[in-house]
Each structure stands twice: as C-alpha cells, then as structure tokens.
Structure 1
Amino acid sequence: MPLRVVIAEDEAIIRMDLRETLQEEGYDVVGETGRGDQAVELVRDLQPDLAILDIKMPGMTGLEAAAIINAEKICGVLMLTAFSQREVVEQARDAGALAFLVKPFQKSDLVPAIEVAMGRFRELRDLTGEISALGEQLESRKFIERAKGVLIDQVGMAENDAFQFIQKTAMSERSRMRDVADRILDGSLRPDAG
C-alpha cells in the first residue's frame, strides 16, 4: 500500500510540484488545499498516513493545524517553510511536526524527510499503545488488590490464598483475573459459592 498523503501549501505552483514529486516517488496524494483550516478537515476526513503542511497559510497556520492533527494523533506531520530560524523550527517541533523541510527543497531531500516523519510517528504510536497497555494493567492490578481485600476481610482468607483463588478461577474459566475480581467486588462470586 502506498503511503497516503495530504498536502497543505498555499502557493499553488509549489503544491503542484510537490504532488507530482510525491506521485513520481510512489506516494498517493489523497487530498490537497491551500488553507490550514481545510487541511485539518481533510486530514480528519481522509485519515492519511502523512500531512505535509506549509507554516504560513490563510485560515489557520500550519503550526496551528499541526498542533490539532498531533493532539488527535491522526497522522505524521512534515512541516514546510521558507524560514529556517531556530525559533520557527522549535515552534514546529512543539506543534508536533516530526520532520522539517526548508523551501526551496531538492527532490532528494523530500523522501528522507517523509521517512523520518513516518518513522517517528510509528514510534510515538507504539509508545502510546504501550503506555495505554501499562495503564490498563495498573488499573486491573488495583481491582485485583481490592478483590483480594474483600476475600481477606469478608471470607477470612489469607492474602496468598485470596490471590490464588482469583488466579485459579480465571484460569479455569479462561477469563481475565480482572473479570474475576469484578465479580468478587460486585458480590456475585465467593469461594464458598463458586
């Protein structure tokens, strides 16, 4: 599957050159606009892999659009600009740009910048998934600890026995320990009843 790209560049000639270059390189340009506000809508509607945004555009700057796209974690963002000052680069980075290309750029600079942006986006997406999974594990652990407390206080089990009851019940029912803990907490499961 070719990488799907949305281009937002207010200079029509640059936008056209960019589209042709991307298509020659095997990318699929799924949308283009000259306005920052329309770029956000296109990205939301088309769900591309990458948005290439010029910094200065009417309607909304590329920095503002990048911040929204980044906050919604829709796709990677590559910023285009005629300015290479450190302050502009830092603003682009802070807005969520994963790569940066200064105009006028060479065709040979475009593909590596795209690859950098996409590599960083994948890393961020993977890290977000890991953080979410760890949060879920921590949340499950809290419910299991609470269920152990119920078994200790209400049934008089030792802590190790309470944990083993939850674990063995989950294994025998082929369910998650969290699900067993939920049933203990809502009162629908007790060792003498189950």
Structure 2
Amino acid sequence: MFRSCRKSVDESQLSSVAAATATRVTVPRLADGNPEDGAAECHLTGARITVEPLRIVIADDEPIIRLDLRRTLENMGHIVIGEAGDGAQAVEITRELKPDVAILDIKMPNMDGIDAAKVISTEGIAPVLLLTAYSQKDLVERARDAGVFAYLVKPFKEADLMPAIEIAIARYEEFLEMEKEVTDLENKLETRKAVDRAKGILMDQYGLKEQDAFRRIQVQSMNTRKSMREIAEAIIIANSV
C-alpha cells in the first residue's frame, strides 16, 4: 500500500534537496507533528528524490477529461490502472484493482461520485479524491459524510493535484487507524467482561480466590493457544447449560 517517507530522510534533507532541485516536496503531518503514514515513499539519492509511483483509478463521464487527467498523472510518474465513465463502474473497478487512491468526478451517471465514494470508503477499499466544478456547502458535507476527506474544485492547477492526493491518502490512513483503535478498545472491554464473569464462575465452583481464578484462565489460554476471551466464553457457555 502507500508508505511514508523513510525515517532516514528527515525534513531538513527534503527541504535542502527540494531547494537545490526546484522540486516541491510535501510531507503531510498529523496533529502530533509526525510525518503522515499516507505520504509517498521517498528515496534520497545524491541531489534527487524519487517518489514511488501510485496505482490510481480515475472516473469521469467525459473521456477528454479522463485522458487529460491520465496524462497529467503519468507525467507525474504515477500509473493509471483503471478508468470508469460512471460511479457504478468506478466502484466495480476499484473493488477489483484495489488502487492506492481513486480520483472521482462528482457529476456522473448511474451513481454520482459521492455515492460511489461512500461505497468505496465503507468497504475500506481505497482513499478517494473528489473532483467537482462546484464548492457548495451541501456537497462538501455530503462528501465528508461519505468518508471523503479531500476534493479539488475544477478547473484546478496541476501543481495542486499531488498535494490533494497526499491529503486524501493521509487522512484516509488516519481514519483507518482511528477505527482500529475503537475496535481494539471494544474488544478489550468485551474480553474484560467475559474474563470477569468466568472468574466468578470458577470462584464459586472451586472456592478459588480471584487471582487464582484469573491464573487458571491464563494458564489454559497459554496451554491451548487460545485467547483469554475464548477460554472465558467457553467457561461461561459450559456453565450455562
């Protein structure tokens, strides 16, 4: 997937090389100031920085717009692995090819770009960058609710495209990490509930102290190579019949 700039290449190196080569180097950051995991992998070689190409899907109902966008992306060194002329096709191609990012126009037949982005985001397939000729508040809110974190208003400058792609990827990766943290917390809470209940059962059945009941669950978990939650739930089920 999309990887961050190597830790060995610090910001001062990037800045000095960018100045020497007139190359724009963008390293998106999170609130904590760390380089964003969604940023492109950078290789520092002498006075040159090469960015690992992205695999990109593009969708627009106008072939001439797709052609222009493809040429722009390829000139930037990236690879367009799929094209779509409507939202439904964009979802299908993105599911199949699993790109690093999908660039979708909002106004498309069959399914508009926002609805397509919602499907792609909900399924966790890829980050989405929306292209739109409009910047109304309601469209921005719809896009945000669909899980889209970056968009460009057409016509846009070529220099604005890569930063927008980087923002889309960076925020998507941040969103996935937040979802993972929530899931981990929920799992920990459910595990604790199950273990506490199983401890109570063992304490009642065998007259064990709480720490001994916990230790029994822990040992069985290690011996069977099953999680403590699985052992606890097995104890609960065995004593509910």
With normalisation by structure 1, the TM-score equals 0.87
Count residues with an aligned counterpart: 188
Equivalent residue number for residue 27 of structure 2 = none
CA distance in structure 2 between the aligned counterparts of 1:94 and 1:86, rounded to whole angstroms: 12
Offset of residue 172 of structure 1: 6.2
CA distance in structure 1 between the aligned counterparts of 2:178 and 2:92, rounded to whole angstroms: 26
Cα shift readout 1:69-118 (whole Å, capped 9, x = no counterpart): 11111110111011122222222222222201011111100000000000
Are residue 93 (structure 1) and residue 141 (structure 2) matched? no
Out of 100, 122, 140, the residue aligned to residue 71 of structure 1 is 122
* Equivalent position amino acid for 2:144 in 1: R
The unaligned stretches of length 5 or more in structure 1 are 189-194
Offset of residue 17 of structure 1: 1.0
Offset of residue 2 of structure 1: 2.7
More helix by share: 1
Equivalent residue number for residue 21 of structure 1 = 72
* Equivalent position amino acid for 1:63 in 2: I
Offset of residue 151 of structure 1: 0.6
Tell me the secondary structure at the aligned position of residue 58 of structure 2.
strand
Tell me the secondary structure at the aligned position of residue 134 of structure 1.
helix
The unaligned stretches of length 5 or more in structure 2 are 1-51
Computed over aligned residues only, the root mean square deviation of the Cα atoms, in angstroms, reads: 2.0
Offset of residue 135 of structure 1: 2.0
Tell me the secondary structure at the aligned position of residue 99 of structure 2.
coil
Are residue 32 (structure 1) and residue 69 (structure 2) matched? no
Tell me the secondary structure at the aligned position of residue 166 of structure 1.
helix
CA distance in structure 2 between the aligned counterparts of 1:7 and 1:134, rounded to whole angstroms: 36
Offset of residue 174 of structure 1: 5.9
Out of 115, 122, 125, the residue aligned to residue 166 of structure 2 is 115
CA distance in structure 2 between the aligned counterparts of 1:175 and 1:54, rounded to whole angstroms: 48
Change (3 A) 1:20 1:138: same
Equivalent residue number for residue 7 of structure 2 = none
CA distance in structure 2 between the aligned counterparts of 1:15 and 1:7, rounded to whole angstroms: 7
Equivalent residue number for residue 98 of structure 2 = 47
Out of 188, 201, 225, the residue aligned to residue 137 of structure 1 is 188
With normalisation by structure 2, the TM-score equals 0.71
Tell me the secondary structure at the aligned position of residue 5 of structure 1.
strand
